[in-house]
Chains A and B, each alone.
Chain A
Amino acid sequence: MGKQLIPILTGRRLDDEETLSLAELCRACAVHADRILDLIDEGILEPKGADPRRWRFSGSNLQRARIAVRLQRDLDVNLPGVALALDLLEEIDRLERQLRRLHP
């Protein structure tokens, strides 16, 4: 009858200090590094750090990368299209937050 005890896990919040390496980002998106490099070339992702071995990706980079991969896979969107879609999605998000602020 007793409730099973589940350990309490403490994760790390992805923010300015806690970021991902290229290898970690690839794993999190389940893609090869080439695909991430394409996204960087297109300006979709902007890692911090001088060279690929020292690149660090933020939490919002992770989000953008995952959406980009899905849009490419599911809708056959090319890279400039993905970049445009991401910018527009972020603009919609910003406007929706503004709308919510004005009209709860």
Chain B
Amino acid sequence: MEYKDYYKILGVKKDASQDDIKRAYRKLSRKYHPDVSKEKDAEQQFKEVGEAYEVLKDPEKRAAYDQLGSGWRTGQDFRPPPDWQQGFSFGGGGFTQGDAGGFSDFFESLFGGGRGSSRGFRQGRTSFHMRGEDIHARISIDLQDSFHGATRTLTLSVPEVTDEGVMKSREKNLQVKIPKGITEGQQIRLQGQGGAPLGDGKPGDLYLEISFRPHPYYRVDGKDLYLNLPVAPWEAALGAKVKVPTPEGVVDLQIPAESTSGRKLRLKGRGLPGKSAGDLYVVLQIALPPASSKKAKDLYRKMERELAFNPRAALGV
């Protein structure tokens, strides 16, 4: 297992005061809190910070950790010394805030001893009944899945109590129907697909939160879709009938004459399907033909000469 440098994780010196450690923890836990943070690996970082603080905030655990010596580096292969835990009394567990289940093997090997028995349900298996816990997970789907409905497979780790009465997580494969018209952030509730119960309790429920994988050209906002549509200058200026892709096939769209870049045209009901279907907004982007040939250059020069056009007139220059 890998050695973890808890001081480095919190960004404090080895001789930092308890107050310094608390401040560093508070700051980093806000920075990496998965509900707030935009950092990619926020959840992992948040766990590491929590684990580091769990050890360093407790003078006894900190002293024990310090005793390992400073010769270790992050990621180095680590085994606890044979005389580990002698003279320290934290073996019985007793976690305050942290979710001990999420801590690293390194932490478990140092401070996790003896907790297994207190978490087990050895005696209560037959007389104790409890509903299984509800589980929450996320599932990424493609835009097309919401348009047509789909079946998606996902793998979950579900907590379970084994026959020996020990909490364990088990991998579980599920195939789930994605309802047509589902939007980003909506949840699907699957009754009885959550954590296993104790005794004669009922199993918990599973909640799946939908997120959309990015699409190469449609952007999704609730039920509405946005599409940037390049048009030629003459199409925008003179008006034209052009082909537009929609998730349900190509349609013809009339571009009004004298359209400007950024003009939004609405295709009603072409967004995500449903009782009140969303709309597809086409945003015009005027694309300039490259002036790479002599002919193109000549045409641009002709426009320059013959059109009295000052694009900066509104700026007074």
Contacts and interface: CB of A to CB of B under 8 A. Distances in A.
Given A11-B208, A13-B182, 11 more contacts: A4-B173, A6-B174, A9-B174, A9-B176, A9-B193, A11-B191, A18-B189, A59-B186, A63-B185, A74-B50, A89-B36
B134 A7 contact: no
A74 B136 CA distance: 18
Interface residues of B, number: 42
Interface stretch (A34-42, A43-51, A64-72): A64-72
A13 B207 contact: no
Contact of A12 (B36, B46, B97, B189): B189
8 contacts: A6-B174, A9-B177, A11-B176, A11-B191, A11-B206, A15-B186, A70-B35, A74-B50
Given A70-B35, A104-B217, A27 B187 contact: no
Contacts of B191: 11-12
A47 to B, nearest CB: 16
Interface of B: 26, 29-30, 33-36, 46, 50, 97, 131, 133-134, 136, 151, 153, 173-177, 179, 182, 185-191, 193, 204-209, 217, 219, 221, 226, 228
A26 B228 CA distance: 43
Give the secondary structure class of A's interface: helix
A28 interface: yes
A30 interface: yes
B221 A97 contact: yes
Contact of A27 (B97, B204, B217): B204
A89 B35 contact: yes
A18 to B, nearest CB: 7
Nearest to B227: A104
A100 interface: yes
Nearest to B221: A97
Minimum-distance CB pairs A-B, first 9: A11-B190, A11-B188, A14-B187, A8-B175, A10-B177, A59-B187, A28-B134, A67-B35, A6-B175
